[in-house]
């Protein structure tokens, strides 16, 4: 069967083998492959897999409403599955757990009284439910793991294992890629820009089902997300959530990309729309990158929460929401130049998050005379990152930052080859998923 091997499998295996294992809560937006990843992992690494979906079987909630005793819960759950619920040997998967607050709270008692049972819980809108105060959350009794869409690295590994191995062989080195490797990787990167990282869309692209199939998957997912707005958000926030969601491409196409409420609606103010914006952030559907006024540790201490940019969880969705045709990524056109940079920034951001970096910040010189796309904290350093969508790397902002703060390392992503020049490291943008190997080196 054709499938994309996900890097999160190794993290799940580490959790399984941990001597301090607690019930695991897997977070992430809808349609990114959480359920598939857990079930795939359960089938490969356990004797049995028992799936309990709280959205499909509403009767499951009654089990957890009656008791908090793990032994009694397990007796009741046995009626909902054909597999034995055995300690160590069966993976219990509680899917869409945000639909049952008692089930989430019960994880505390499994941690304390039945740690021999392996439990993974997942929920697409779990972040929304938690932040709205709908749960008595078992603080300290569960572990968390965040999941993201299919990364370019995962996509390439499935599409061309040989090329993936060649790129991986250069990670952490300052040697330029051979032209044949560079050109082929660039071609796959452009294909990924079209389909993005939603698993069904990526699979359609990899296994040659055609751009038409990719477009349909993305259309269906956009529709599903908008249905979620109507089903799960407060009635008063629904039109505001729709407006912010649909304004994201226009926000990114602005000259400095800064989020402006009047782009959402003429005369709109922050206090009217901030709850709707937070709903999208909590749902994992957009990312909020805040201004950092002083690039020192901790970055969060110097954040300006009133100035921020927003990006989408996936560049395929961004393309589709922007109504951009697939061929625009392989056709030179001046009409696409500015927004092409926004897509590249979105790609690098999702890559950094998937590698485990905290949400980056961005930096501007007073008066917006210069701007650096991202700042990330790496151990005791602040690393500035500049993103260029093609081979043209002109611009004074990065030099201004270097002059003012003299960082040990600056990283520029572009469509140029690997090159180290003093404290400036240029990496091809399609190697963003290997950023960590360069920092740790």
pLDDT at 150: 98
Q: Which residues pair with 310 in a beta bridge?
A: 288
Q: What does residue 291 show for φ and ψ, rounded to 5 degrees?
A: -70, 135
Q: Tell me the whole-structure pTM to 2 decimals.
A: 0.95
3-state percent breakdown (helix, strand, coil) of the chain, nearest 5: 50, 15, 35
* Predicted confidence (pLDDT) per residue in 216-249, tens digit: 999 999 999 999 999 889 899 999 999 999 999 9
* Predicted confidence (pLDDT) per residue in 265-323, tens digit: 988 889 999 999 999 999 999 999 999 999 999 999 999 999 999 999 999 999 999 99
Q: Where is 377: in which H helix or E strand? A: strand 371-378
Residue ranges, comma separated, of all CATH 3.40.50.300 domains in the chain are 8-146
* pLDDT tier at 176, thresholds 50, 70, 90: very high
* Predicted confidence (pLDDT) per residue in 333-354, tens digit: 555 667 888 999 999 999 999 9
* Predicted confidence (pLDDT) per residue in 77-120, tens digit: 999 999 999 999 999 999 999 999 999 999 999 999 999 999 99
Please give the CATH number for the structural domain made up of 8-146. Answer: 3.40.50.300
Considering the chain, what is the average pLDDT of its residues?
93
pLDDT (average), residues 407-424: 96
pLDDT at 339: 82
* pLDDT tier at 206, thresholds 50, 70, 90: very high
Contacts of 30 (CB under 8 A, 6+ apart): 124, 125, 224, 225, 228, 283
Q: Are 33 and 217 in contact (CB under 8 A)?
A: no
Distance of alpha carbon 327 from alpha carbon 140, whole angstroms = 49
19 versus 128: the higher-pLDDT residue is: 19
pLDDT at 395: 77
Query: Is the pLDDT at 332 greater than 60, yes or no?
Result: no
Instruction: Using DSSP bridges, classify how beta strands 424-428 and 419-421 pair: parallel, antiparallel or unpaired.
Output: antiparallel
């Amino acid at each position: 069967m054709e499938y994309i091997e996900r890097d999160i499998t190794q993290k799940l295996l580490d959790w399984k083998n941990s001597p301090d294992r607690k019930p695991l809560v897997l977070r992430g937006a809808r349609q990114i492959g959480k359920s598939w990843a857990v079930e795939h992992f359960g089938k490969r690494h356990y004797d049995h897999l028992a799936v309990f979906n709280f959205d499909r079987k509403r009767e499951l909630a009654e089990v957890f409403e009656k008791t908090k005793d793990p032994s009694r819960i397990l007796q009741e759950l046995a009626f909902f599955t054909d597999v034995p619920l055995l300690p160590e040997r069966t993976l219990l998967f509680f899917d869409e757990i945000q639909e049952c607050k008692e089930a989430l709270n019960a994880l505390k008692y499994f941690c304390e009284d039945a740690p021999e049972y392996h439990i993974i819980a997942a929920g697409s809108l779990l972040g929304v439910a938690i932040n709205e105060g709908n749960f008595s959350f078992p603080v300290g009794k569960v572990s968390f793991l965040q999941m993201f869409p299919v990364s370019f690295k995962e996509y390439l590994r499935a599409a061309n294992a040989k090329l993936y191995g060649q790129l991986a062989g250069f990670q952490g080195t300052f040697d330029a890629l051979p032209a044949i490797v560079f050109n082929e990787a660039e071609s796959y990167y452009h294909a990924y820009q079209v389909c993005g990282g939603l698993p069904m869309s990526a699979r359609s692209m990899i296994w040659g089902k055609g751009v038409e199939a990719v477009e349909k998957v993305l259309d269906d997912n956009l529709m599903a997300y908008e249905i979620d707005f109507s089903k799960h958000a407060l009635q008063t926030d629904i039109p505001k959530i729709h407006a912010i969601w649909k304004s994201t491409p226009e926000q990114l196409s602005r000259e400095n990309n800064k989020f402006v409420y009047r782009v959402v609606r003429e005369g709109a103010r922050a206090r009217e729309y901030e709850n709707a914006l937070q709903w999208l952030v909590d749902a994992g559907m957009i990312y909020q990158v805040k201004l950092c006024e002083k690039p020192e540790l901790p970055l969060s201490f110097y954040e300006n929460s009133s100035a921020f940019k927003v990006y989408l969880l996936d560049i395929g969705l961004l393309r589709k929401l922007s109504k951009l045709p697939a061929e625009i990524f392989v056709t030179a056109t001046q009409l696409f130049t500015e927004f092409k940079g926004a897509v590249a920034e979105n790609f690098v951001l999702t890559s950094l998050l998937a590698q485990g970096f905290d949400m980056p910040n961005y930096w501007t010189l007073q008066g917006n005379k210069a701007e650096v796309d991202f700042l990330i904290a790496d151990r005791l350093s602040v690393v500035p990152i500049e993103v260029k969508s093609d081979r043209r790397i002109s611009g004074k902002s990065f030099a201004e930052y270097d002059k003012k703060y003299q960082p040990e390392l600056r990283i520029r992503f572009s469509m140029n080859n690997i090159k180290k020049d003093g404290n400036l490291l240029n990496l091809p943008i399609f190697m963003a998923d290997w950023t960590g190997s360069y920092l740790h080196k």
